[in-house]
Structure 1
């Protein structure tokens, strides 16, 4: 058995069908649908828009429209759950003496305080400037700035003399290097010793 070829199983035949829908009660059109993307949505999230899919035959209910979200990588920030991470390159003088810098965030320009004596890979955290929690719109993650100390590769004679004089006064306790399998909390090589090693 098979459905009737004329009535397609409906039991009735439309003698003069509509030229647009050919008696099916629906026509194919293209339309724009607004999608509300919630704050804090994660990559590969699928949103369901009820009754925004294709309409059923003969006045049947419309189906659902599913939207898959792909988050485009950002040039400035890297996302880790609800925290945002960025890397800030600062001159070595700023790392030694401390400095205030302004950075662009999704909440506008913010002042970031680089503490005096900052070491490479140190971080500075700006609270509640990260991604909004998906389940709680009143909570946000943090913005974590990683300090990248820029060490000059070339120095003038005067600059080298200043660095060497500073190293003699400051890094006398770091002249003897002890090799260990893992770093200890107390014995850090001085920053300017690292600088002198890089210049060599």
Structure 2
């Protein structure tokens, strides 16, 4: 069997509060792995990841899980919407995990569903939705608890152009208005265009494509 391969090295990334960074790269270069490392789901062979001064590598698994629940929002490519919960319950889940105020969590989740155009689908289940609708639910869930770090893996991959534009505007506004750090990976130049910085990921790390 072939041994492990190095995906990237000499990678240095700092994202400020209220800044949205887009990362573009060829398939297989490690974009999703990078997001998993930033979220503390995977560990890098070397180097550190810090969120507001907290170094993830110094935390045990319980503390790392708690940090993800409270401070990170993640839009996964595979959605990870729970089929046995309604859409409203799915979106409210990050709040339910950290707060006992069920009414406030439901109200906030309802607001977020409306923001992604699914305000009338709160009692539906995942089996009743298209891939594009599930993508919107995943984005609403990632933003609902106003996280300090928002990560997105191809956030508009299953959306038509009009819906993609609306969801991207919501995503970018959430990053900037809440003072969050936002990182999204994408193969789409149109998606990356909403970001403050666009970087290309390769074997030797990240290179700037443009800045503003």
TM value normalised by structure 1: 0.24
Could you say which structure has the greater relative contact order, defined with CA pairs below 8 angstroms and 6 or more residues apart? 2
Q: Tell me which structure has the larger Cα radius of gyration.
A: 1
TM value normalised by structure 2: 0.23
Question: Which one has a larger percent helix, Structure 1 or Structure 2?
Answer: 2
